[in-house]
Amino acid sequence: MARWFSFFAEYNFTVEYKPGRLNVVADALSRRPDFETVAKPNSETVTVAVMTSAVSSSTLHDDVRRAYAQDAVSGDTPRVVIPDDTDLRLRIMFEYQDAPPGGHRGREKTFLTVSRDFYWPRQYQFVRKYVRACEVCQRVKSSPSLRAPLQSTGYG
């Protein structure tokens, strides 16, 4: 804090408050007009009951394809936005972590592979809890080993 104080002490300046609607330079990023082009929900919005019944009766591939079709950010993003459906997220995690091709890679590698293809809010925390609850990962995970302290050789 003292370092910053001494740095700014070299300058003669005044801090003035400017309301957000008047400060157009600072708001250029947060008030971009192209942010308003995100798709608005239409009259064909799927209800939660219809979505959960569809998810429970179809395969993972169909669920991912359906999520792709409902992706509100579709266009230039290669990832699928997964709806707030815990069962679908758990099935994705099973395929990427527990199934034989997944290979129980651990928290970081599982997160990287899942986040490469899918997106949902608080995805890292979800992956972390899933891997932490995985019995195989906890059994195989190496324990942190302590290094021997440095010792002098007695020469010199």
Q: What pLDDT sits at residue 43?
A: 47
Structure confidence by residue, pLDDT tens digits, 88-111: 999 998 888 888 777 788 888 889
**pLDDT score of 128 more than 90:** yes
Instruction: Give the mean pLDDT of 99-126.
Output: 87
Task: Enumerate domains of the chain plus CATH numbers.
Answer: 42-140 (1.10.340)
Mean pLDDT of 113-119: 89
DSSP 90-147: HHHHIIIIISTTT----HHHHHHHHHHHEE-TTHHHHHHHHHHH-HHHHHHSPPPPPP
Q: What is the pLDDT of residue 124?
A: 93
CA distances from 5 to 1, 10, 16, 22, 58 (A): 6, 9, 18, 29, 62
